[in-house]
Amino acid sequence: MVCKNCGSEIEEGKKYCGKCGTKIDSKKDRKIKLIKKLVISIIIIIVILIITILGLKIFNIDIDTNIPIIGNLLKNNVSRKEVEEILKKSYNGSYLQNDTTKIGSITDISYQDYDKLITYSSTYKNNEITLNTGGILLYSSSSKNSKVLTVPANLTYILYYLTTQKDMDKEITKVTEILARHIEKNGTTLNEMNEEFFKLGEEIGQVVGIKLCRNIIEKGVESLGTSLPENAYFLYKEKEISPRYVGFLTTDNEYVWSVIDEKTAQYLYSYDRNSYNTMIYVYGQPYKSVTKFKVYDFTKDTFPEVGSYSNLENAKKMLNVVENKKE
């Protein structure tokens, strides 16, 4: 080893030069110094890059956001804290729990004054009721205006799940992009269960998985304390993630006399009980208990009855729907 100060030969293991007294760096010391230099260099490069990007944005100079590092820096210029503050000022914001807001993904959108669409998850609490929910926020980078969208329950369950799962980054990013394109085309009315709503669900199902989406939605319903009984089922069109119908087994009293109609039998029961009893003696009871599978329209607020069927399989065949097999 040679002294870097005077050039004299130094014996291995010596910490100082015997001629000039200069301290000799060991291999470990030299390695640590090299690492420090590399770290400092990387930090300087990143700082220069950030300053450059911010400068270009200030002067409205176009930047290629397809370059990953640049795209990520620009797309994530809305912080989690900013989103939480926006939510606190919105409807039910007083129930928002501090530090529960998490950004799922941020994507570009061209809709009115807004240029960013943000998906997020958050937790609200009102007395004993705790609600974990996902949502959509529109944001303007120039005016700082924002709009919290009204999102149907089915979609809030999916957004919350994707945002809070560690292995779902790819899926939430894609779903956020799908939502942006949907809003650009159809507007912000997302809670009307029309054909566009179901098409949106199909697109999300292709990314996340139809079975997983259905399970998320059904578990979301259960979390509200409104789980379906054992003999009840959500019924779906083949590729859809939101249920079209809900059906369950029920027992009805069916009128079975064939000699007179039900209205006449009711008249005899009220005004001629002797004749009514004679009919029972000859023909048996006018009613019998019949088990039917009744189906109701889940897309309507009033849940109107669609029809009665002999069993679940018959209802599926007649309505061309499938059940979400319970695991």
In a domain, 187, yes or no: yes
Where are the strands (E) in 112-236, listed by range? 114-126, 129-139, 146-148, 232-236
Q: Are residues 52 and 85 in the same domain?
A: no
Domain boundary among 150, 185, 219: 219
Q: Do residues 157 and 164 make contact, with C-beta atoms less than 8 angstroms apart?
A: no
Question: Are both 182 and 214 inside the same structural domain?
Answer: yes
**Is 13 among the domain residues?**
no
Does residue 82 lie within any of the structural domains? yes
In this structure, the answer to whether residues 210 and 197 fall within a common structural domain is: yes
Range of the domain at 51: 24-75
| Predicted pLDDT of residue 23 | 66
Dihedral (Cα; 316, 211, 203, 228), 10-degree rounding = 60
Q: What pLDDT, in 10s, does the model give residues 152-198? A: 889 999 999 999 998 999 999 999 999 999 999 999 988 777 888 99
Determine, yes or no, domain membership for 183.
Answer: yes
Check residue 164 and give its pLDDT.
94
Q: Is 197 exposed, middle or buried (CB count within 10 Å of its CB: 0-12, 13-18, 19+)?
A: buried
Pairwise CA distance, residues 135 & 172, whole Å = 12
Do 30 and 92 fall into the same domain?
no
Co-location of 95 and 114 in the same domain:
yes
- Are 52 and 160 part of one and the same domain? no
> How many other C-beta atoms lie within 10 A of the C-beta of residue 23?
10
Q: What is the pLDDT of residue 139?
A: 95
Give dist(CA 249, CA 294) in Å, integer. Answer: 6
Q: Which two tokens stand for residue 39?
A: 């770290």
209 and 251 part of one domain: no
Query: Coil, helix or strand for 238?
Result: coil
Q: What is the pLDDT of residue 242?
A: 92
Question: β-strands 322-323, 232-236: how paired?
Answer: antiparallel
Residue 17 lies in a domain: no
* The model's pTM: 0.68
In a domain, 226, yes or no: no
Helices assigned H by DSSP within 59-194:
68-75, 80-88, 153-164, 169-186
The CA-based angle 102-122-163, given to 5 degrees, is 50
Regarding whether 261 and 128 lie in a shared domain, the answer is no
pLDDT tens, per residue, the chain with 327 residues: 667 667 667 666 666 666 676 666 666 566 666 676 676 777 777 666 666 655 544 444 444 444 444 444 444 478 889 999 999 998 788 899 999 999 999 999 999 999 999 999 999 998 878 889 999 999 999 899 999 999 988 999 999 999 999 899 999 999 999 999 999 999 998 877 788 899 999 999 999 999 999 999 988 887 766 666 677 889 999 999 999 999 988 888 889 999 999 999 999 999 999 999 999 999 999 999 888 999 999 888 888 999 999 899 999 999 999 998 765
Same structural domain, 66 and 91: no
Q: In whole angstroms, what is the distance from residue 293 CA to residue 273 CA?
A: 34
Total tally of structural domains belonging to the chain: 3
